[in-house]
Structure 1
């Protein structure tokens, strides 16, 4: 066996061992007096080693690239990311002893940039989000590296049939609950990888659960879901970090989604602040976006005298956003009541 193949085998073993050391994320049941017969759960993805849902994606992307022969011992990894995916990819790059560069917009929170650097990654900042793709591709070519391209490969890097993905984890953890098959699973989309994994899993296992995706202002996913127009683009920058996109990403598979809910950015922020009072700790703004959709669905169910369960994701903790979404002055300057 070649030295290169030995290195790849060892790299895969390191990632598997890292996974083995990490317990599954918790499923938290919210006690909300407003809903007597509707159970609401948060899948707390902030408990991953790198603190967010994107830890799963980064692990899958590295394994996918390794098994497809794209990453070798001296490969520089380049990614287009607003923060959380880059943090997780920097972690795995360091685990494998690889150089990592994240291409992101200058408006990314300083806390996320600091976390990337903590794991040994470098940050290549560009003026706007729509520039990250071209710069990432060009940088990878210049360095003879590998552009991870989460926005293309997120929907195919994870085994949606099982293999310890997030969908299997949710349904396994729900198995002893009063309503073991939730009426809805609510997620937001950045790449579309998580919604694709969950949507495919639901269909493969012939479950009745509906997949609902929430979308923030200035993102085109909601309009694409309604129109099927892949050419849609937004000229305005999204203000809820990590979710929503100014273009239709290749990994966003609308046919797997049962319903989408558009959420105003200020609603996301207010819900994020409200959740802190319920949980006792801060969560990120995308979790607020998710919960706006959850409560809308719960009230619809209640109006129809329906019982059941709704599951959503706690995507990351709020300590990454102390200088932004948790700063009233920043919110006043950057988030408005209307689009």
Structure 2
């Protein structure tokens, strides 16, 4: 277990208080050491018929220490707050989250010996809530997902508290020019593949930070790669991209981790080449079909990505255009055994998984179970 930077309560008298700047320096080293201890996430090859001439790759972000893509974001949010002088040895941290970001932030907060409060919707997967508290975080549950913003902002306004505000800052806390961000990692790992420059990279959007980072990086590095966003039903990002309006609202998403009821400040439509709206039944069916064909158990947001990536593969195949497509495995599917992997849960929400499978099957090709 990582040792916190702050001494335990009741430890008794000790040396003179540490200079706050020295504490920040040690905190930055501690957060950076977490990344240094971890190898880069795997780039997996998805089995498609060789005759198609198109390769599909899955960047497996579920292997991070906290099990999701949000580990990268949480690390960047902590480093940003520390470098700005907003986080000190006595700061209480707070975040609005649909679950995964809060899990990762609780992990880093415990590493630094800081208090962390997660404002999350009450219907968040129970496994995620358990992980937040297991890492030492406290829960502030709200009944409506749209209420997380105001509740977190209110807590963050207290003296000695700091609100990460991932939805506003995700596109700025990560260095999109490189510095081992996810885009840089993808292109480095693709270097020896048959088509090293992907035709498409496909991601979902929750904060919008990942799509902003990848889209900016491709332009900065002068890659021809295009960026597609896979947006679940109920989310507003697809309409915002099509209409150019940032004021559109919607009911929100049933796919945890992606899709929002409002256009988040970190969503940057101008770096996105195409947006696909994915029915929830297809997200869940694709997630399950991925497990059946590869043994990879991922969450439903990965299914959203995979559904879109396979449509782009099909387009390239029909156009006779060889190349590669890359998408993300967003998080570990074992978090969703009682929800997306439960037939009773899916039936209770009216998801026609058999119909979605029939639509997706030709896109998967004859790769067998």
User: Structure 2-normalised TM-score?
Assistant: 0.89
Q: Distance in 1 between matches of 2:201 and 2:74?
A: 22
Cross-structure match for 1:317 = 332
Aligned partners of 1:140 and 1:312: how far apart in 2? 34
Aligned to 1:217: 233
Partner of 2:202: 186
Deviations 1:170-189 (A, max 9, x none): 00000000000000000000
8 A contact 1:184–1:210 mirrored in 2: yes
Where structure 1 has 5 or more consecutive residues not aligned to the other structure, the ranges are: none
CA distance in 2, matches of 1:313, 1:281: 12
Shift of 1:7: 0.6
Aligned residue among 270, 273, 284 for 1:258? 273
Deviations 1:229-266 (CA, angstroms, capped at 9, x unpaired): 111111x2410000000000000000010110110000
1:66 paired with 2:77, answer no
CA distance in structure 2 between the aligned counterparts of 1:34 and 1:168, rounded to whole angstroms: 27
Is 1:291 equivalent to 2:306 in the alignment?
A: yes
Q: Distance in 2 between matches of 1:118 and 1:54?
A: 17
Q: 1:132 to 1:35 in 2, by over 3 A?
A: farther
Could you state the TM-score of these two structures normalised by the residue count of structure 1?
0.97
3-state DSSP of counterpart to 2:157: helix
Q: Of the candidates 41, 61, 64, which is equivalent to residue 45 of structure 1?
A: 61
Whether the aligned pair in 1 keeps the contact of 2:91 and 2:161 (CA below 8 Å) is yes
Gaps of 5+ in 2: 1-17, 356-369
Offset at residue 335 of structure 1 (A): 4.7
CA distance in 2, matches of 1:242, 1:95: 24
2:177–2:217 Cα contact (<8 Å) kept: yes
The count of residues paired between Structure 1 and Structure 2 equals 337
State the partner residue of 1:148: 164
In the alignment, what sits opposite 2:153? 137
Structure 1 segments, 4+ long, off by >4 Å, are none
> Retained in 1: the 8 A contact 2:233–2:280?
yes
Asked if 1 retains the 8 angstrom alpha-carbon contact of 2:252 and 2:259, the reply is no
Distance between the aligned counterparts of 1:142 and 1:5, measured in 2? 22
| Higher gyration radius (CA) | 2
Which residue, out of 223, 230, 234, partners 1:207? 223
1:304 aligns with: 319
